[in-house]
Structures are given as structure tokens and as C-alpha cells.
Amino acid sequence: MASSEEDGAVEEKENNNKKRTRSALATAWLTFYNIAMTAGWLVLAMAMIRFYFQKGTHKGLYRSIARTLKFFQTFALVELYHCTVCQLTSVIVTGVQVCSRIFMVWFITNSIRQIQSEESVILFLVVWTLTEITRYSYYTFSLLHHLPYFIKWARYNLFIVFYPLGVIGELMTIYAALPFVRRTGMYSMRLPNMYNVSFDYYYCLIIVMLSYIPLFPQLYFHMLRQRRRVLYGEVIVEKDD
């Protein structure tokens, strides 16, 4: 009996050590990831400021930062892994936010040069940049257990203005893209074709715009609930859909 109890104690100790090791590795990776993303969005912010002061206009700004923007925004797909494996936040909320931004970057702004100098593009770029610098800074300092209050305050207050502005910029950009998409038929498939499938990207974009109606309020009120919980200590019970 004593031997079996000792074996069980040793096995439990080994399991605890493995869990601590995995936890330490996960924390180290998340810290590195959030520092890298903070730095990346800071680089984007400095590039936008430098471009504007040098050129005196926003025209051409998107093209000058496109490669960096595409890299860091696409790399954010890693956060879906964080949600599913590390269970940090809701995978649905994160998935909607990340995928919608990647769609905006790759399938709207990057694909249609004619709209890259629209004011709406600059609007959502500025909002994204400020939001992400704040968000990743918040995560970084939280992981390091040295979170300045002003960063926590910024994380849970600036979104009140930034989220609606970002949505306005995104919707205006998609709307500006509609005439070009309809005229050129880009990404569309007409019958007859070898796949016997019809797809109209123009109407797809309209559906995307309409999807903001149910999705945006859910994301916005989710952040408001998080704000009450983090800043004011309210206990929020999330209802299952």
C-alpha cells in the first residue's frame, strides 16, 4: 500500500511539474506575441505619421504601409489558436473581429487600388492602429503583472468611440468599392462554367455590409460588459446563445 501511495504521489508531482512547465511556456509565448504585435502596430503608426508629414497628404499612404499591415493583421489569426487552446477569450468574438479585418485588408483595400486613397480607408487604419496598440499593450503588461492604470483605462474606454468610427470607415470603404466590383465583375463567377457554380462578389459585399447590423451591437455590448467587469468589478453573467 505504501509503495502504491508513493507512486501516486510521484506521478501527481510529475503531472504538476508538467502543467507548470506548459503554463510557463504559454505565458512566455503570449508575452512575446503581444510585445511583437504592439511593436508592429507602433511601427505602422510611426510610418503613417512620417508619410503624412513628408507628403502632406494621405494619398498613397496605404500603399506605403500595405506590406507591414498585411503581415501583422494576418498574423493575428494566431489568436484563434490562443482562444481554442489557451481559452483566453471567446473564439466567436475574436474570430469575427480578426476575420473581418483580414477580409477588409486582403479582399477589399488591397485588391482594389482605386479605393486605397479614400478617406474612409485612412479612418479605419487610424482607428485600428490606435486600438491595437492599446489592446496589445494591455495584454503585455497584464502578463508581466505590471499593468499601468492609464492603459487599462484606455483599453476599456477608447473603444466606445473607436469601435463605431472603425465600423463607419469599413462600411464606407466597402460602399466605395461596390461600383468598381460591379463594373469589373472581380471575384465573380458567371454561368456557364466548368464548376456549374454562380457567384457574384458585388452581392456578397452587400451581404457583408448588412451583416454589420446584427454583429456590431453584439461585439460592442460585449465590450461594454467587459468594461463594467474590469473597471468597476461588476459580476457579469454571459448568457449562452
Which three cell numbers, joined as nine digits, stand for 12?
A: 501527481
The cell for 179 is: 461600383
∠ CA 94-71-97, nearest 5°, is: 15
- Cell for 9? 504521489
Q: Degrees (nearest 5) of the Cα angle 109, 110, 111?
A: 95
Task: Tell me the backbone φ, ψ of residue 100, rounded to 5 degrees.
Answer: -65, -35
Spell 29-56 as b/e; 16+ CB within 10 A means b. Answer: ebbebbbebbebbeebbebbeebeeeee
Q: How far apart are CA 161 and CA 144, in angstroms?
A: 28
Would you tell me how many other CB atoms lie within 10 Å of the CB of residue 182?
15
Catalytic residues: 163, 170
CB 138 within 8 A of CB 151: yes
